[in-house]
Amino acid sequence: MQTHDTSQPADAPGRAPEILVLSKLEPAAAMAELSARFTCYNAFESPGLEALVGEHGHSIRGLVTTGGRGAEARLIDSLPALELITVYGVGVDAIDFAAVRRRGISVTNTPDVLTDDVADLAIGLFLAATRLIATGDRAVRAGQWSAPLQSRLPQSARGRKVGIVGMGRIGKAIANRLAVFDAEIAYCKSEPASDIAYRYFPDPVSLAAYCEVLFIAVPGGAGTLRLIDRRVLDALGPGGLLVNVSRGSVVDEAALVAALDSNSLGAAALDVFADEPNVPAELLRLENVVLTPHIGSFTYETRLAMGQLVIQNADAYFGGRALLTRVE
């Protein structure tokens, strides 16, 4: 456990550690508990981030952020007393770790508690895309009944050849769920895992050439930037389905749009995008795409558990105890 820097400004007697909160925790109970335990400056409320940093930056010791928002070097450098960054989410690719390491700042995230819900959504997107659930919903609402489904028949979800790029917690949870569909499962990662019996491929291109459905379940960051490129999409082919519940940055979005538009890729089901909340207009008009607004972990139960883990990590750090889910 990192030894706390005693040169940092001490909190005033009876005053809880000061924390800058970049994004509101959901549900309200989680935010209320965080506010009850710490002195919170909420950047999502007036007067906003710049004013809060200007007034309180010298004494802020903790930062609560999200995987998407992260913490850039400029913000970290503006908080000279910062000791802890706790991420409300799993992804930490938006954290500037060079700035973190220069300062010896601790970083935590919230793994495990969101695994099941993200995997559930991945399966939901798979079903929606194969059975054309969203298309059927739009048809019924438009008074067309099943007419739009006649030109593009839904496919069965059963017995498909499925590839998973990444076989960490979420990848394994997706694979477990696919077993009930009698799927032929394969995966790729940097090297084969001794505890995984599924067929192994060394790279996404060879995996995509093997499978009909490709799930993306890898972290974001420089190491996976546009990992799913035109070569992978071409290998997946006109009958293939891409399901992404990881990070939008992992997919070359321009190549994906071109592949879908030309029907060189059969379909896509996407919960994440390269520039959220901005979704390319081309994706919005395509019928062979299912879109959701980055809601993999967005359930009451999971968000509450994530919020509680944020609080528990902050409690542990400022109480001088070992962090529960330390990243750095």
CATH 3.40.50.720 region(s) of the chain?
18-111+300-318, 115-291
Mean pLDDT of 289-312: 97
Q: What's the pLDDT at 145?
A: 96
Q: What is the mean pLDDT of residues 24-51?
A: 96
HSE-up of residue 308 (Cα within 13 Å, Cβ side): 10
Contact 20, 43 (CB under 8 A): yes
Asked whether the predicted pLDDT for residue 213 surpasses 80, the reply is: yes
Tell me the pTM. 0.92
Strand positions, DSSP E, 252-295 = 267-270, 289-291
* Active-site residue, 301 included: no
CATH code of domain 115-291: 3.40.50.720
List Cα–Cα distances, 279 to 7, 81, 248, 284, 290, in angstroms: 46, 37, 10, 7, 12
pLDDT digits (tens, 9 = 90+) for 4-35: 443 444 455 567 999 999 999 999 999 999 99
Residue 1 has pLDDT above 90, yes or no: no
Catalytic residue among 55, 72, 276, 287: 276
Q: Which residue has the tokens 């972290």?
A: 219
pLDDT at residue 44, rounded to an integer:
96
Q: What percent of the chain has pLDDT over 70?
A: 96
294 is catalytic: yes
Render pLDDT for 294-305 as a digit per residue (tens, 0 to 9). 999 999 999 999
Choice among 83, 247, 253, 303 that is catalytic: 247
Q: Facing residues of 42 across strands? A: 21
Position 151 scores a pLDDT of 86
CA distance 152 to 311: 49
pLDDT at 12: 53
Q: In the annotation, is 61 catalytic?
A: no
From 61, 160, 294, 303, active-site residue: 294
E strands in the chain? 18-21, 39-42, 62-66, 84-88, 106-108, 161-165, 184-188, 199-201, 213-216, 241-244, 267-270, 289-291
| Contact criterion met (CB below 8 Å) for 224 and 249 | yes
- Residue 7: what pLDDT? 40
Whether residue 55 has pLDDT greater than 80: yes
Q: Could you tell me the pLDDT band of residue 102, with boundaries at 50, 70 and 90?
A: very high
Would you say domain 18-111+300-318 falls under CATH 3.40.50.9100?
no
- The predicted pLDDT at position 283 comes to 96
